[in-house]
């Protein structure tokens, strides 16, 4: 996981066993338990809770298809100060980020149990900057964190490209746009301005 520079990018995180001791972190489900989703925290400015729950359940099913086994996702929507505290406490990184993922399962467990901390503040801020819905940005972070739980990494360029493709494929499967890679609204506006200036110059020259 790295501190955001310029456009915020989903965090590169690995699960930590000590996250089990976090206040409010649920127990690991028994092996006989089917996959499920839990959602907590405020979604103010993001989406109605029912919509988010339905999308998370669809994501859980997609994760189970990719994994070939049951998946339990515990998603908490946090403010920037809250996710900064979690990031500092469990990963030693003293800054707010967009998503932090924790794998709470042991190798070979039938159920993959993962906890995700997702910043609603960062989602709202980045969505406004890039010109799309906060809900779409927030779901990008959830998908990114889930892919880390499934074993994806984005430190090397080739791995990063594979992860971006996987993010887009999952978002489209969920009926959402492939958010990552869209140009920021300010950059688009600047490009349009430059194009307008060029047209004006051409007209004057003619």
For 22-77, the pLDDT digits (tens) are 434 444 444 446 799 999 999 999 999 999 999 999 999 999 999 999 999 999 99
Residue predicted with more confidence, 183 or 2: 183
pLDDT at 103 over 80: yes
- Give the DSSP letter string of the chain: -----SS---------GGGGGSTTPPPPPPTTPPPEEEEES--TTT--HHHHHHHHHHHHHHHHHHHTS-EEEEEEEE-HHHHHHHHHHHH---S--SEEEEE-PPTT-SSEEEEEEEEHHHHHHHHHHHTS-HHHHHHHHHHHHHHHHTT---SSHHHHHHHHHHHHHHHHHTT----TTPPPHHHHHHHHHHHHHHHHHHHHH-
pLDDT 10s digits, 160-193: 999 999 999 999 999 999 886 655 554 344 344 4
Q: Give the chain's domains with CATH numbers.
A: 17-205 (3.40.390.30)
* DSSP one-letter string for 188-205: HHHHHHHHHHHHHHHHHH
Residue 123 pLDDT: 98
Strand partners, 103: 114
Of 12-26, 34-48, 112-126, the poorest mean pLDDT is in: 12-26
**pTM for the model:** 0.76
């Amino acid at each position: 996981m790295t501190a955001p520079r310029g456009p915020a990018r989903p965090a590169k995180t690995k699960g930590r066993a000590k996250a089990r001791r976090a206040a409010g972190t649920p127990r690991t489900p028994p092996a006989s338990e089917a996959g499920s989703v839990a959602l907590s925290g405020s979604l103010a400015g993001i989406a109605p809770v029912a919509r988010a729950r339905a999308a998370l359940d669809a994501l859980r099913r997609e994760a189970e298809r990719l994994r070939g086994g049951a998946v339990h996702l515990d998603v908490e929507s946090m403010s920037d100060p809250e996710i900064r505290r979690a990031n500092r406490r469990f990963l030693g990184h003293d800054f707010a980020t967009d998503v932090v993922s924790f794998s709470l399962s042991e190798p070979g467990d039938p159920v993959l149990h993962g906890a995700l901390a997702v910043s609603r503040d960062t989602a709202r801020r980045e969505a406004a900057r890039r010109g799309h819905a906060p809900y779409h940005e927030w779901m990008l972070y959830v998908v990114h964190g889930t892919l880390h739980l499934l074993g994806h990494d984005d430190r090397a360029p080739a791995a990063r490209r594979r992860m971006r493709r996987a993010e887009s494929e999952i978002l489209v499967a969920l009926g959402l746009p492939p958010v990552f890679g869209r140009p920021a609204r300010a950059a688009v506006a600047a490009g349009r301005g430059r194009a307008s200036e060029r047209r004006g110059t051409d007209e004057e020259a003619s």
